[in-house]
Amino acid sequence: MKMFRTIIVMALMVCLSSTPSAFAAKKSITGTVTCDGKGVAGVVVTDGVNMTKTDAKGAYSLPTKVKDPHCQFVHISIPSGYEVERVGNAPQFYKRVNPELRRQSFHFKLKEVDQSSYSVYAIADVHVSNGRFRWNHKEDADKYRASLVKTLDECVKATKEPTYIISLGDMTHPGTRPGYKGRTGGYSFKNYMDDTNVDAPIFNSMGNHDHNRPAVKGTYFTEETVYQSRADFNRDLGPEYYSFTIGRDHYVVVDNLFIITSDAHSTRDPKATKGCWIRLCERQHSWLERDIAALDKSKVDRIIYVAHAGLINSKGKFLQLDGERVANYFKGYEVVTLIGHHHADRSQKIKYNDTPIYQFVHPSGAGTGWYTFDNCEGTPAAIAHYQFNNGKIKRTYVPYGDNEGIAHYRVYDNGENKWHYPITSRTGTKNKYATEAAAATAEDKPAILVNVWGAYTCEFTESTGGRGKARKRLYDLKYRDWYWPTLERSLAGEVPEVARLKKAAWQTPKVGDHIWQYVPMDPDAEIRVVAKDLFGNVIADFKARAK
């Protein structure tokens, strides 16, 4: 028995004496997070695989495998009430790991900011290729700088509270970026950041077209190699998934397009070997679950999920293949998702396991590939402005180009807002006006058509007390009646080559969730239209006449 105790004691002494050196060997990354020279405690630090928090002195350490290509960065989750240093418009919340150095130190500096109220400007799908993509307008880079960036700069300068910019992906294209097949021209992520020269931090998320394709034809990416699809983005813009907190809102930015072979076509087949999935890779799942678990629930009310493709679809079902799994991480919080990809304006809400999820899909900032400043369901190319104040969110759109200064809606009626043909109960129901006109009858009743982007509900009230019929999901007349003649003239060579439309299915007119037709009971009545957003805020209140 005595001998046994002696062995145990000796074993413990060996373990304790070896622990410091063994533990030190694992501390490949160390550093501090400070504000005005003082350490900031409790800041989450990660290398994308491992995660820790700073101690009372603001110090941290990570057992990073520096040669692991999945650990290219060390980044902090910027805590509430702080901002990081910037280089131009790029927030320095991350440091790049040197795979050749066994031990490295990275230090982050914060500054205190009053975030009791703040603004976010969101942009999506600008698709700039500097004229090197077959369906893009050849002057797209010039148009981007002269319209969107000019308007964004004006917005930032006019905003007096802390201001942040979020890009929802598809800034460029893999086949047009410098380096593709030895190409020197095109448009890089660095070009995009340089062109978006506004005085506010820009937080970027990855779109499907921001990925690289497999280097060798016939191969595909897996969980272990998918990092290669993010090579250009990582080189110029940093990590593809990360988080930060502003006020009482915690933002998680993810890459929810898993590229298999192609950036263009998504698939729901879990065994697919081509195209791409709308889902997170497993390393993101591991990181996201721990990132949310690390939150102090007494200090965070809302999760803002920032991704390129939708978490839910237009029918309120999960579009993202692992959507239920992701939503489970957010239990106990209100969730707002900011989405691009779908080139349309859409507002949706569901409740999943008592978790309220509000999703805002943003129209393309390029309109229809920079040919026109309208999206195919009539929403103008615009910047979405979110104002956060005491837990409330106010959302508005800021259009630009030939839509600059337009109100939150477009009206087609037979009164002050006359279109170049009568608006009837048949108008807006067909993909082409000619199809509607051919089916017109004398019984078609006068109506109004309203397109209110950002609207979730729309109410119609007749001045004479009647109650007519309303329906939604129709075509916007401005875009529909521009597209078909322009395409026809383009195919006939009657449009300058620089602005010539090609046949592209995604550019054809689409119905919009925010487009309503109202046929009044009394054709002579004045009709009051009140549209509300997802939170019940009135965003449009106007009057129109069907006759």
pLDDT at position 133 is 77
280 touches 312 (CB < 8 A): no
Give the rounded distance of the alpha carbon of 217 from its chain centre: 30
Which uninterrupted H or E stretch holds 427?
none
Report the pLDDT value the prediction gives residue 182, as an integer from 0 to 100.
74
Six-digit token pair at 227?
């990092």
Cα(207)–Cα(124) distance, rounded to whole angstroms?
9
Of 110, 91, 262, give the one whose Cα is nearest residue 163. Answer: 91
In eight-state DSSP terms, residue 137 is -
Domain 114-403 grouped into CATH 3.60.21.10: yes
Structure tokens at 423: 């608006």
DSSP 166-186: EE-S--S-TTTSTTGGG---S
pLDDT of residue 26: 66
Residue at 462: amino acid letter: E
Pairing of the two strands 163-167 and 117-123: parallel
- How far is the C-alpha of 530 from the C-alpha of 430, rounded, in Å? 25
pLDDT value for 11: 38
Parallel, antiparallel, or unpaired for β 334-339 and 302-306? parallel
Please determine whether the domains at 26-109 and 114-403 fall in the same fold group of CATH: no
Counting DSSP H helices and E strands in the chain, the numbers are 9, 31
3-state secondary structure 236-302: HHCCCCEEEEECCEEEEECCCEEECCCCCCECCCCCCCCCEEECCCHHHHHHHHHHHHCCCCCCCCE
Residues 197 and 188: their CA atoms lie apart, in Å, by 15
Tokens representing 39 are 């350490």
> What would the CATH number be for the domain defined by 26-109?
2.60.40
Domain ranges of the chain: 26-109, 114-403, 409-545
Phi, psi of 501 (to 5 degrees): -70, 145
Q: How far apart are CA 274 and CA 269, in angstroms?
A: 10
How far apart CA 544 and CA 449 sit, in angstroms, is 10
Q: Among residues 206, 198, 318, 188, which one has the least CA distance to residue 256?
A: 206
For residue 373, the Cα-to-chain-centroid distance in whole angstroms is 19
Note the pLDDT of residue 2: 41
State pTM to two decimals.
0.93
For Cα atoms 63, 257, 94, give the angle at the middle one, nearest 5 degrees.
Answer: 35
Query: So what's the pLDDT on residue 351?
Result: 94
Contact 125, 309 (CB under 8 A): no
Q: Which residues of the chain have pLDDT under 50?
A: 1-25
| pLDDT per residue as tens digits for the range 148-195 | 999 999 999 999 999 999 999 999 988 889 887 777 778 999 999 999
Cβ within 8 Å of residue 473, ≥6 positions away: 511, 512, 513, 515
Residue 284 amino acid letter = Q
Angle at 545 between CA 541 and CA 547, to 5 degrees: 170
